Amino acid sequence: MKVLLVSALPPPFGGIAEWTKQYLDYCKSNSIEVDLVNISLSGSRRTKINDRTSIKDEVVRTRRVLKDMNLHLDKTNPSVVHMNTSCGPFGIIRDLLCVKAAKKRSVPVVLHFHCNVESRENGFLWRMALKKMTRMACQILVLNKKSKKYIEQYSITEPIVIPNFINGDFSAVSHVIHDTVKEILFVGHVQETKGCKEIIKAAESFPEIHFTLVGPVAKEISILPCPENVSMIGEVDHNEIKDYLMKSDVYLFPSYAEGFSLSLTEAMSTGLPIIASDAGANQDMIEDMGGIIIPIKSSEAIVNAINEIMDPKVRQKMSIWSINKVNENYLIDKVMHRLLSIYKSVLKSS
């Protein structure tokens, strides 16, 4: 079996790009034959992901991707195409053209939505492209139950929920649970859509607790007045993040929209109790055992959740449960085994 993976490599880092890197490393280590069509960003957004989308850059990107896609389909004869899409307003058309190219050559497509699909909806043309893609795919993969329910409106194939994976580097046997909460951590892009304004506002109610925000800081956040108990560290090497996780008492993740968060998975793998918004897969991940789910865009909900999570016995139960959840469901060996089984099932039925 030969897989043609249509996905993005860094830069920028994170999201699909990190998934792709780990996927390729796993395939190489396990003698799985795979080729890549790299759909990474063009222009300034390669280094500054928050820059405004340029139509010119997207046209150049689309031409590059389609040329590479057709070349691989004709020269490497893949058994199956694994198409990753984040459903962007421009990207969804490019992804549709890639799926059409595979379909034209009778190569089965596994279409993988790396986003919270319902939150990406963008008008009639977007919905038509989505519908056409799902109808041409042999199997559809989504990151969470909300996306599954949304895609079921358009697909004739029942979507399968497949979580993102981590390689286990951050996995811990246990997490030290202190009697009091002294350190609360956020990791990710420090921007408004990640709920960072609400974090800063909530921090004002807990002067005795230190709030650490790790990740590249957007201008809209950097100019906000911050209480003394909030530190913005900026971007750090990925290997350093585990140290921040292990030294913290609570992981706070009030994002407005998510697919399946790798940073949240890593926090769970170290046994950190979680406070997360009801976005994307967050609820699927921590259920009612690994932490507390709160509404989006509510600093008051963050304050209430922090007060609720103060009890060390409560945090201890959350910690043990989260480590077990990750080990049983989100490590790369477990998820890749499921993906390979899906490929074999697709090939068998094609």
Both structure tokens of 330: 């989100």
> What confidence tens digit (pLDDT) does each residue in 247-261 have?
999 999 999 999 999
> Is the distance from CB of 267 to CB of 253 less than 8 angstroms?
yes
Q: What is the DSSP string of 136-176?
A: H-SEEEESSHHHHHHHTTT-SS--EE----B-STT--S---
pLDDT of residue 52: 60
> What confidence tens digit (pLDDT) does each residue in 210-241 have?
999 999 999 999 999 999 999 999 999 989 99
CB proximity list for 346: less than 8 A, separation 6 or greater: 80, 108, 110, 138, 139
Both structure tokens of 127: 């919905």
Instruction: Return d(Cα 114, Cα 34) in angstroms, integer.
Output: 19
Rounded average pLDDT over 272-278: 98
Angle, CA 220 vertex, CA 215 and CA 225 arms, to 5°: 90
pLDDT of residue 307: 98
Q: Has this prediction a pTM greater than 0.85?
A: yes
Instruction: Return d(Cα 318, Cα 274) in angstroms, integer.
Output: 8
Rounded average pLDDT over 282-298: 97
Measuring CA to CA, how many Å separate 232 from each of 149, 183, 187, 195, 210? 37, 13, 10, 14, 11
Using alpha carbons, select from 24, 82, 22 the residue that is nearest to residue 238.
Answer: 22
- In the chain, CATH 3.40.50.2000 covers 2-165+331-349, 183-329
Instruction: Return d(Cα 117, Cα 133) in angstroms, integer.
Output: 13
The phi and psi torsions of 229 (rounded to 5 degrees) equal -90, 15
13 vs 192, more confident: 192
Q: State the chain's mean pLDDT as an integer.
A: 94
pLDDT of residue 94: 96
Rounded average pLDDT over 106-133: 96
> What confidence tens digit (pLDDT) does each residue in 137-175 have?
999 999 999 999 999 999 999 999 999 999 999 999 999
With cut-offs at 50, 70 and 90, classify the pLDDT of residue 45. Answer: very low
With cut-offs at 50, 70 and 90, classify the pLDDT of residue 278. Answer: very high
> What confidence tens digit (pLDDT) does each residue in 189-204 have?
999 999 999 999 999 9
pLDDT of residue 122: 93
pLDDT of residue 343: 98
pLDDT of residue 42: 65
- State which fold the 183-329 domain adopts: Rossmann fold (3.40.50)
> Is the distance from CB of 176 to CB of 251 less than 8 angstroms?
no
The angle, 0 to 180 degrees and rounded to 10, between the axes of the packed helices 55-75 and 91-104 is 20
With cut-offs at 50, 70 and 90, classify the pLDDT of residue 6. Answer: very high
Rounded average pLDDT over 314-327: 98
Out of 1.10.10.10, 3.40.50.2000, 2.40.50.100, 3.40.640.10, which CATH number does the structure's domain 2-165+331-349 have?
3.40.50.2000
> What confidence tens digit (pLDDT) does each residue in 54-73 have?
888 889 999 999 999 999 99
pLDDT of residue 55: 86
With cut-offs at 50, 70 and 90, classify the pLDDT of residue 10. Answer: confident
pLDDT of residue 123: 94
Instruction: Return d(Cα 207, Cα 306) in angstroms, integer.
Output: 13
Residue found by looking up tokens 């694994």 in the block: 82
Angle, CA 333 vertex, CA 331 and CA 335 arms, to 5°: 70
> Is the distance from CB of 147 to CB of 313 less than 8 angstroms?
no
User: Percentages helix, strand, coil for the chain, rounded to the nearest 5?
Assistant: 45, 15, 35
Using alpha carbons, select from 169, 319, 172, 332 the residue that is nearest to residue 240.
Answer: 169
Rounded average pLDDT over 282-291: 97
With cut-offs at 50, 70 and 90, classify the pLDDT of residue 48. Answer: low
Rounded average pLDDT over 82-108: 96
Measuring CA to CA, how many Å separate 61 from each of 45, 58, 90, 132, 283? 12, 5, 10, 21, 35
Relative to beta strand 291-294, strand 2-7 is unpaired
